[in-house]
A and B are shown apart, each in its own frame.
Chain A
Amino acid sequence: MADTPLVNLTIEGRQTSVPAGTTILEAAKTVGVLIPHYCYHPGLPIAGVCRMCLVDVEKAPKLAPACATYVAEGQVVTVHNAKARDARTGVLEMLLINHPLDCPICDQSGECELQDYTYAEGRADSRYREPKRFNPVEDFGGDVLYVPNRCILCTRCVRFMEDVAKEPTLNVSERGDRAYIGCFEGKDLTHPWSGNVVDLCPVGALLSKDFLNKARAWELDRTASVCPGCTQGCNTIVETRDNVVMRLKPRSNEDVNGYFMCDYGRTTYRALNRRDRIETPLVADNGGMESIGWELAIESAGNVLRGRKVFILASPSLSNEALHLLKRISAISDGGRGAFRVERGDEAPLAGVEDLALRAERAPNVRGAELMGFRESDSPLTELTRDAVLIVADHPLRANDITHAARAAAVIVIGTTLPEGLRNVAVALPIANMAEEEGTFTNLRGRVQRFLQAKVAPGESRPSWSVLADLLGALGESAQHYTASSVFAALAASHADFSGLTYDRLGLRGLPVLTAQQAAGAGGVA
C-alpha cells in the first residue's frame, strides 16, 4: 500500500486521508464513524445488496452505498442527515416486515445488528398489516441451524462458503420476498470452517446448535484469548457466564486468522470447563494422595527434586512463561531433559485466506516448546532414566507413557488433572488452565500472542507460572515473579528469540519472534 496515493475526503465533517481504492465505509472507520450495514463484511467480497449503508455524497444525484463506493478526492460524505437516515429507516422497516419479533427467544438477541440499528434508527411501529412470510427451520448440517423467517438475505453466508471456504454450498433460492437461503443438492455445512457462517450472520437466522438456547448474549463476559486447538493460534474471544466458558468466537487479526476460526477450534471450549480437575495440592500418603497446603506441597516437591536428575514431560499447550520456568528447573540438574508429544489430526485449510488452516499439530504452543529447547517425540518418555524424577507438566499420557513413567525415581504432576493410572506420584500441584491464567503462545509462524484470564481457576489451583516460580524458589533459584508479565520479561531477557518483546509491545494482536535464521536472512515474518 506504500505506493498507493492518498485521497482526502470529509466524512461527517471530519477530514481523513485514506489510500485510493478504499470504500467510503472503510474510510469512515478511520474517523470513528460507523456506517450501519448488513451485507458488507471486511472478510467477504462486496455484495452491496442490503442498501443499509446508503450515504449522502455531496453533488451525487442519489444516495450511494458506502460499501461499494470508492473514495474520491474532495468528497464530502454525510451519514447522519435526514435523507440518509430516512433511507435507513425505510430499509429497517422493510427488513422487519417479514422478520418475526421473537427477540425474547432468539439466540442472537443482544448481539443482533438488526436489533441494534432498529433501536437506533428504526420506526417505533410497523405499517405492515399483512401476514408474515413463514418457512420452517432447517438443519444445514454441521453445527448450523437455519431459521429462514429471521433471514434478511444479506448473503454473507453464501459468499463465505463460495468465496472464502471455496466450497459453494449455500445459495439464494427463489426470488422476490419468497427468497431464502438454500443448500445445494447433496451438500451441507460440514466443511471444517463452516461454523463461521453463524458469526457472520448479522441476525439470528443461522444459529449454532452447540450454543442453542444456552445463554443470552448480554450475560456473557468476553475476554481476548488465543485458540488452544492447534498451532495456527487464531485470535479468539472467550465468552464466559458464571465462570463457565460458553463458547469461543474468532477475534479479527489480519496477520493470523482474518475474521475466522474453525469448527474444531470452537469445540475446544469444552476442555476448558473440565470438571475432573485437581483442586488442591496433593502429596503421596500411605498409598493414597492427601490434600495439603501450598507451602508444604512446594516444599515436598522441592525435596523430591533436590539433587536429583530431572526429566520434564512438558505439554505443548502450556504457555511460554510456564515452559520457560520448566526449562529452568530442568537446567538445575545436570543432564536435565525435557520432551513433549504433539497430538495430530488432519490439516484443514481455509482456502480463501492465505496461510490459514486448522493445523495437523493440535496444540497451541508447539513452536514455543521447541524454542524453549524441548524436543518433540512420539514416544517422549523412552529416554527417561531410572535415576530421574519425572515432572509431568499438564501433558496427557498414553498407556505406554504410563509404563515408561513407572521407571522414574519419582513423579511430580504439575497439571490441571491427575493422569489416570499414574502410580508413583509423589506430589501433585494443581495449576490453572489457559482460560484461567494469563500467558503467551508462539504459533507455527513464530508469532507470540497473549491470552488473558477469562475465568477463575477451581479450588486452590494457581497459575502455572506462579507455581513453577515458587518451585524454583524452593530449589534455591532466584525466581521472584508476581505477574505473568514479569515472567515474560525474564524470558525475553534470557532468550534471544524473544528479545525486545514485552506484554505491552505484544498488545492483543501479537508480534513475531526474531529467530536466528530470520535475523540473519531477510525473510519475511509471518
Chain B
Amino acid sequence: MGYPFKPHPRETLVLSKYFGEREAISLDGWQKRGGYVALKNALGMDPVAITNVVKESGLRGRGGAGFPTGLKWSFMKLGDGKPHYLCCNADESEPGTFKDREIMRWTPHALIEGCAIASYAIGAETCYIYIRGEFTEPLLRMEAAVTEAYAAGIIGPNAMGSGKTVNVWVHKGAGAYICGEETAMMNSIEGKRGNPRIKPPFPAVSGVFGMPTTINNVETLAAVPHILNNGAEWYKKMARPDNPKSTGTKLWSVCGNVARPGNYEVEMGFPFKDFLYDLCGGPPTGRKFKAVIPGGSSVPFMNMEEAEAAFMDYEGMVAQGTMLGSAGCIVFDDTQSIPKQVARLARFYAHESCAQCTQCREGTAWTTKIVERIVAGNGTSEDLDTLLDIAEQMTGKTICVLSDSCAAPVVSALQRFRGEFEALIKRKVQPAVPVVA
C-alpha cells in the first residue's frame, strides 16, 4: 500500500515502491534509485526494438480499456514525415480511482522517464501530460520535475546527450471528466471544447492537431522503464499461470467500506477474495461486504459471490461479468443502499455528459431523475423496466462510452439488487419535506 501505511507483504512493489519517500520526488533522489537508466539505454536503441520489448512484455493499457501498449505504439508509422505526438492521460477522473495521482505525487520522474521512452519509441518529439484540473499537488510536482529534467538535460533538444529531441509539456485540464476520453483530451489540448471525436480516424492516423498521436495512461507509461530495465520476461512472469494475457503488476485504488482503503500494487491474477479480506482488511468491524465495483464507476457491480471468485486481471474480471477498468475499486457494505449509490453514480454521469450524443445527453439525465425519484420513495412499478430500456438505448450507440458507462452500473445493479429497488418502490417511502432555501 505504501503511503501512509507500510506495504502489505503480499504486494508486489514495482510502481509504488517509493510511494511515501519524499526523497524520491526530486531528480537526485530518483537517479539514486536507478532512475533514467532505462531512458539512457533506450535512447541508444532502435525505436522499433523498444516497441518490441513492450509488445513482448504483454503490457496493456492501464487506463481502462486494456489495449496492448506495444501494439498501439506500432500503429505509429515511423518516418512518415509528420510530427508525431504522445499524450499522457493524467486526467484521472474515474470515480474511485486515485492511482495515477500517487504516481505523480511521489514518483514524477518515473512518469517523465516513461513519457520520454515512449515518445522516442513512437517517433514523437513532443509529449503532452494532460493533468486533471483538480490535481493541484500532482500538477505542482510534475511541473517541478519537468523543470528539473529540462535543466539537467534529460529531456529537451538533446535528451541525455543522445542528440534526440524529447519535449514534455504539462497541460492542466479544467476539470471535465470527459476530457479523460482520448479524443476529447486531444480537442482540449488543442484549446477546443472537450468533445469526443468520431472514430475513425483513429488517433494513430489523425490525433492532436490532425497528426499521428498515441495516448497512454500514467500507470502504463510509468511501467515502461521497469520493463526495459528488467526485461520483458520478468514482466511476463507476473501473471496467473493459466492466463498469460494479463501481465505485470497493477495498482488498485480501494475506497468505500473497507478497513484499510488506499492504493495496493499486486501481480495480475491475484485472488480478489484474498485482496479484499487480507490486504484491505475486510469490512469495517461488525459489517459485511455487499457489493464491489472493481474498476472505477463505469464498470458493472459485482455481488460478493462474484467478487470472491474473481481474479484480479482483465480476463478474470470479465469472467465475473464486470471489467478491470481503471482498477478503482469501490466497496459497499451491508449498510449501503444500492439504489442510492446508483443514483449518485448516474448523477455524476448526467453532470459530465458532453451533450453531443442524444442518448447520452438525455439518457444520463433521465436515468438520474428516475433513480433519484425511486430513492425518494416515488418510484412506480414501470420504472425499472424503463431504466433497462433507457440503458439499452445508451449502450453502444454513441460516439464515446460515457453513456455506456452510465448504463453499466444501472443494469448490473438492477440485475443483482433488483429487490432493493422494488422494496423502495413498494414501500412508497414518503418523500422528505422539501427544504426551502
Q: Is A90 an interface residue (CB 8 A)?
A: yes
CB neighbors of A among B389-407 (8 A):
389, 392-393, 396-399
Q: Is B350 an interface residue (CB 8 A)?
A: yes
**Smallest Cβ-Cβ distance to A89: which chain B residue:** B393
A6 CB to nearest B CB, Å: 21
Contacting pair A176 B352 (CB below 8 A): yes
Cα of A350 to Cα of B58 in the assembled complex, Å = 54
Contacting pair B356 A49 (CB below 8 A): yes
**Interfacial chain B residues near A93, Cβ < 8 Å:** 393
**Interfacial chain A residues near B362, Cβ < 8 Å:** 94-95, 97-98, 177
A69-100 to B contact mask, C-beta < 8 Å, 1/0: 00000000000000000010011011101100
CB neighbors of B among A135-175 (8 A):
152-153, 155, 171-172, 174-175
Q: Is B75 an interface residue (CB 8 A)?
A: no
**Smallest Cβ-Cβ distance to A65: which chain B residue:** B198
Contacting pair B355 A97 (CB below 8 A): no
Contacting pair A94 B393 (CB below 8 A): yes
Question: Known contacts A62-B397, A91-B358, A94-B393; is A68 also within 8 Å of B363 by CB?
Answer: no
Q: Is B354 an interface residue (CB 8 A)?
A: yes
**Interfacial chain B residues near A176, Cβ < 8 Å:** 350-353, 355, 361, 364-365
Contacting pair A172 B358 (CB below 8 A): no
**Interfacial chain B residues near A87, Cβ < 8 Å:** 393, 397
Cα of A179 to Cα of B350 in the assembled complex, Å = 11
Contacting pair B366 A175 (CB below 8 A): no
Cα of A384 to Cα of B377 in the assembled complex, Å = 90
Q: Is A130 an interface residue (CB 8 A)?
A: yes
Contacting pair A179 B397 (CB below 8 A): no
Q: Is B373 an interface residue (CB 8 A)?
A: yes
Question: Known contacts A51-B398, A62-B397, A153-B361; is A174 also within 8 Å of B198 by CB?
Answer: no
Q: Is B386 an interface residue (CB 8 A)?
A: yes
**Interfacial chain A residues near B253, Cβ < 8 Å:** none
Cα of A391 to Cα of B178 in the assembled complex, Å = 70
**Interfacial chain B residues near A134, Cβ < 8 Å:** none
Q: Is B424 an interface residue (CB 8 A)?
A: no
Select B350's contact among A49, A155, A177, beta carbons within 8 Å. A177
CB neighbors of B among A442-476 (8 A):
none
Select B397's contact among A54, A98, A127, A175, beta carbons within 8 Å. A54
Q: Is B193 an interface residue (CB 8 A)?
A: yes
Select B361's contact among A65, A68, A179, beta carbons within 8 Å. A179
Select B358's contact among A94, A128, A130, A174, beta carbons within 8 Å. A94
**Interfacial chain B residues near A152, Cβ < 8 Å:** 358
Cα of A152 to Cα of B356 in the assembled complex, Å = 10
**Interfacial chain A residues near B363, Cβ < 8 Å:** 94
Q: Is A48 an interface residue (CB 8 A)?
A: yes
Contacting pair B366 A153 (CB below 8 A): no
Cα of A176 to Cα of B366 in the assembled complex, Å = 11
A47 CB to nearest B CB, Å: 8
Contacting pair A52 B350 (CB below 8 A): no
B341 CB to nearest A CB, Å: 20
B408 CB to nearest A CB, Å: 16
Select A94's contact among B178, B193, B355, B359, beta carbons within 8 Å. B359
CB neighbors of B among A27-56 (8 A):
46-52, 54
**Smallest Cβ-Cβ distance to B355: which chain A residue:** A179
Q: Is A508 an interface residue (CB 8 A)?
A: no
Q: Is B340 an interface residue (CB 8 A)?
A: no
Contacting pair A94 B366 (CB below 8 A): yes
B116-142 to A contact mask, C-beta < 8 Å, 1/0: 000000000000000000000000000
**Smallest Cβ-Cβ distance to A54: which chain B residue:** B397
A-B Cβ contacts below 8 A, count: 94
Cα of A49 to Cα of B397 in the assembled complex, Å = 10
Q: Is A63 an interface residue (CB 8 A)?
A: yes
Contacting pair B354 A175 (CB below 8 A): yes
**Smallest Cβ-Cβ distance to B383: which chain A residue:** A129
Question: Known contacts A46-B198, A68-B198, A175-B351; is A95 also within 8 Å of B366 by CB?
Answer: no
Cα of A241 to Cα of B358 in the assembled complex, Å = 36
Cα of A98 to Cα of B358 in the assembled complex, Å = 11
Select A48's contact among B193, B361, B393, B399, beta carbons within 8 Å. B399
Select B355's contact among A51, A68, A127, A177, beta carbons within 8 Å. A177
Contacting pair B356 A90 (CB below 8 A): no
B240 CB to nearest A CB, Å: 28
**Interfacial chain B residues near A47, Cβ < 8 Å:** 356
Contacting pair B357 A49 (CB below 8 A): yes
Cα of A503 to Cα of B143 in the assembled complex, Å = 72
Tally of A interface residues using CB under 8 Å? 36
**Interfacial chain A residues near B373, Cβ < 8 Å:** 129-130
A487 CB to nearest B CB, Å: 52
Cα of A179 to Cα of B193 in the assembled complex, Å = 13
Q: Is B245 an interface residue (CB 8 A)?
A: no
Contacting pair B359 A51 (CB below 8 A): yes
A97 CB to nearest B CB, Å: 6
Cα of A127 to Cα of B369 in the assembled complex, Å = 12
Cα of A129 to Cα of B193 in the assembled complex, Å = 32
Contacting pair A90 B396 (CB below 8 A): no
**Interfacial chain A residues near B350, Cβ < 8 Å:** 176-177
A61 CB to nearest B CB, Å: 8
Q: Is B80 an interface residue (CB 8 A)?
A: no
**Interfacial chain B residues near A127, Cβ < 8 Å:** 382, 386, 389
A196 CB to nearest B CB, Å: 22
Cα of A513 to Cα of B109 in the assembled complex, Å = 71
Select A51's contact among B353, B354, B357, beta carbons within 8 Å. B357
Cα of A197 to Cα of B364 in the assembled complex, Å = 28
A176-188 to B contact mask, C-beta < 8 Å, 1/0: 1111000000000
A90-121 to B contact mask, C-beta < 8 Å, 1/0: 11011101100000000000000000000000
Cα of A127 to Cα of B398 in the assembled complex, Å = 21
Question: Known contacts A48-B198, A87-B393, A127-B386; is A97 also within 8 Å of B366 by CB?
Answer: yes
Select A90's contact among B359, B365, B370, B382, beta carbons within 8 Å. B359
Contacting pair B358 A177 (CB below 8 A): no
Cα of A6 to Cα of B366 in the assembled complex, Å = 44
**Interfacial chain B residues near A174, Cβ < 8 Å:** 355
A57 CB to nearest B CB, Å: 13
**Smallest Cβ-Cβ distance to A62: which chain B residue:** B396
A59 CB to nearest B CB, Å: 15
B173 CB to nearest A CB, Å: 14
**Interfacial chain B residues near A171, Cβ < 8 Å:** 193
**Smallest Cβ-Cβ distance to A87: which chain B residue:** B397
**Interfacial chain A residues near B396, Cβ < 8 Å:** 61-63
Select B369's contact among A54, A130, A179, beta carbons within 8 Å. A130
Contacting pair B355 A153 (CB below 8 A): yes
CB neighbors of A among B370-428 (8 A):
370, 373, 380, 382, 386, 389, 392-393, 396-399
Cα of A78 to Cα of B388 in the assembled complex, Å = 26
Cα of A127 to Cα of B381 in the assembled complex, Å = 12
A54 CB to nearest B CB, Å: 6
Contacting pair B355 A172 (CB below 8 A): yes
Cα of A127 to Cα of B393 in the assembled complex, Å = 14
**Interfacial chain A residues near B358, Cβ < 8 Å:** 49-52, 91, 94-95, 152-153
**Interfacial chain A residues near B352, Cβ < 8 Å:** 175-176
Cα of A492 to Cα of B176 in the assembled complex, Å = 65
Cα of A46 to Cα of B398 in the assembled complex, Å = 15
**Interfacial chain A residues near B397, Cβ < 8 Å:** 51, 54, 62-63, 87, 90
Cα of A128 to Cα of B389 in the assembled complex, Å = 12
**Smallest Cβ-Cβ distance to B350: which chain A residue:** A176
Q: List 8 A-B contacts (CB under 8 A).
A: A47-B356, A51-B398, A52-B358, A93-B393, A94-B393, A129-B380, A153-B361, A176-B351
Instruction: Contacts A49-B358, A177-B362, A179-B361 known; list 6 others, CB within 8 Å.
Output: A49-B399, A65-B198, A98-B362, A171-B193, A176-B355, A176-B364
Pairs A-B, 8 closest by C-beta atoms = A179-B355, A90-B393, A177-B365, A94-B362, A49-B356, A176-B353, A130-B369, A48-B198
Give A residues with C-beta under 8 Å from B.
46-52, 54, 61-63, 65, 68, 87, 90-91, 93-95, 97-98, 127-130, 152-153, 155, 171-172, 174-179
